Chains A and B, each alone.
Chain A
Amino acid sequence: MFNALKDIWTVFSIEVRRVFGDPTVLLIFFLAPIIYPLLFCAIYHNENVEDMPIAIVDEQPCDVSKRFIHKLDATPELSVAYRCNTLGEAQRLLEDHQVRSIFLFPHDFSTRVAENRTGRIVVFSDMSSFYYYKAALTGGNAVLIDEMHTIELQRYEQAGMTNEEASIQMQPVVMENTTLYNPSGGYGSFFLPILLVLVIHQTLFLGICILAGEAVESRRYLQLIPHHLRRNSVYRLILGRALCYLLLYVPLTIFCFWFVPRWFHLPQLGNLYTLLIFALPLLLAVIFFAMTVANLLVRQKISPMLCFVFLSLVLFMLTGMVWPQQSLPRFWYYFSYIFPSTPAVQGFVKLASMGAPLSEVRHEYLTLWIQAGSYFVLSTLITFAKNYLRQRRNILIHRLRQARNA
Chain B
Amino acid sequence: MDTNITRVLRRELLRIRQHSRYLILMSLGFIFVFVFFATMTHNGQPTKLPVAVVDMDGSYLSRRLCHEINATQGVEVAAVYNNHNEARRAMQRGQIFAFYEFPSGTYNDLLQFRSPHFVLYVNSAYMLAGTLSYKQLATMGMLATGAVQREVYRKKGFNDDQIMGLIQPVEYDTRTIGNPWINYGNYLMTTLIPAVLAFIIVMHTIYIIARERQQKSLRRWLASAKYNPYAALIGKLLPYTAWYLLLGLLANLIMFGPMGFPLKGSWLLMVLNTILLVTAAQSVGGFIASCIPDAPLSMSVGAIYSAVSFSLSGFSFPVDSMPRIFTAVSWIYPIRHYYLNFCDIAIFGNAMEHCWPRFMTLIAFALLLFVGAPFLTWQLKISKQKATA
B260 CB to closest chain A CB (Å) equals 15
> How far, in angstroms, from A144 to B142 measured CA to CA in the complex?
14
**Does residue A148 face the partner (Cβ distance < 8 Å to B)?**
yes
* A120 lies within 8 A of chain B by Cβ: yes
> In whole angstroms, how far apart are the Cα atoms of A222 and B214 in the complex?
22
Chain A, 282-319, contact with B by CB distance < 8 Å: what is the 0/1 string? 00000000000000000001110111011111100100
Given contacts A131-B321, A175-B145, A305-B300, contact A118 B129 (CB under 8 A): no
Is the beta-carbon distance between B126 and A324 smaller than 8 angstroms? yes
Q: Is the CB of A127 within 8 A of B187?
A: yes
User: B211 — nearest CB in chain A belongs to which residue?
Assistant: A302
Which B residue's beta carbon lies closest to that of A310?
B199
Q: Which residue among A95, A312, A327 has the maximum number of chain B CB atoms within 10 Å of its CB?
A: A327
Check A177–B169 contact: CB distance below 8 A: no
Max chain A CB contacts within 10 Å: which of B91, B141, B184, B304?
B304
| B323 pairs with A45, CB closer than 8 A | yes
CA distance A325 to B161 in the complex (A): 44
Which residues from 234 to 249 on chain A have a C-beta closer than 8 Å to any C-beta of chain B? Answer: none
A176 at interface (Cβ–Cβ under 8 A)? yes
B364 at the interface (CB under 8 A from A): no
Known: A173-B110, A317-B40. A117 touches B161 (CB 8 A): yes
**B22 sits at the interface (CB 8 A):** yes
- A162 vs B343: C-alpha distance when bound (angstroms): 52
Taken together as a complex, chains A and B put the C-alpha atoms of A309 and B46 apart, in Å, by 27
* B149 proximal to A (CB < 8 A): yes
Task: Flag if B29 contacts A309 (CB, 8 Å).
Answer: no
Decide yes or no whether B271 CB sits under 8 A from chain A: no
Q: Quick check: is A346 within 8 A (CB to CB) of the other chain? A: yes
A49 touches B39 (CB 8 A): no
Given A127-B177, A132-B318, also A310-B203 (CB < 8 A): yes
Is B164's beta carbon under 8 Å from chain A? Answer: yes
Interface string of A319-339 (1 = CB under 8 A from B): 001111111110110000000
Taking a contact as CB atoms under 8 Å apart, the answer to whether B165 and A95 are in contact is no
Of the candidate stretches A6-14, A34-42, A273-281, the one touching chain B is A34-42
Q: What distance in Å separates the Cβ of B299 from its nearest Cβ neighbour in chain A?
A: 4
Interface residues on B, range: 35 or more
Cβ-defined partner of B49 (8 Å) among A24, A182, A326, A356: A326
- With contacts A118-B169, A140-B172 taken as known, whether A24 is within 8 angstroms of B161 at the C-beta atoms is no
Residues of B within 8 A of A125 (CB): 174-177
In the bound complex, CA of A36 to CA of B305 (Å): 11
**A190 partner, pick from B32, B124, B200, beta carbons under 8 A:** B124
Nearest 4 Cβ contacts at the A-B interface: A327-B46, A24-B296, A127-B179, A356-B92
Whether the pair B48, A178 counts as a contact (CB closer than 8 A) is no
A43–B110 CA distance with the chains assembled, in angstroms: 48
A-B contact pairs, 28 of them (CB 8 A): A28-B300, A43-B312, A48-B321, A117-B161, A118-B165, A118-B169, A121-B171, A126-B347, A127-B177, A129-B316, A131-B316, A131-B321, A152-B166, A173-B148, A178-B122, A302-B207, A303-B207, A305-B203, A306-B26, A310-B196, A313-B310, A322-B127, A324-B97, A324-B129, A325-B94, A327-B43, A327-B46, A327-B47
**Chain B residues whose C-beta falls within 8 Å of the C-beta of A117 in the assembled complex:** 161, 164-165
Point out the residues of chain B lying under 8 angstroms from A35, CB to CB. Answer: 304
Q: Which residue of A lies closest to B342 (CB)?
A: A128
Question: A121-B171, A314-B36 are known contacts. Are A302 and B118 too (CB-CB below 8 A)?
Answer: no
Question: Are the C-beta atoms of B321 and A23 separated by less than 8 Å?
Answer: no
Tell me whether A118 and B168 are in contact (CB under 8 A). Answer: yes
**CB <8 Å contact, A181 and B110:** no
Interface residues of B in 330-375 (CB under 8 A from A): 339, 343-344, 347-348, 350, 354
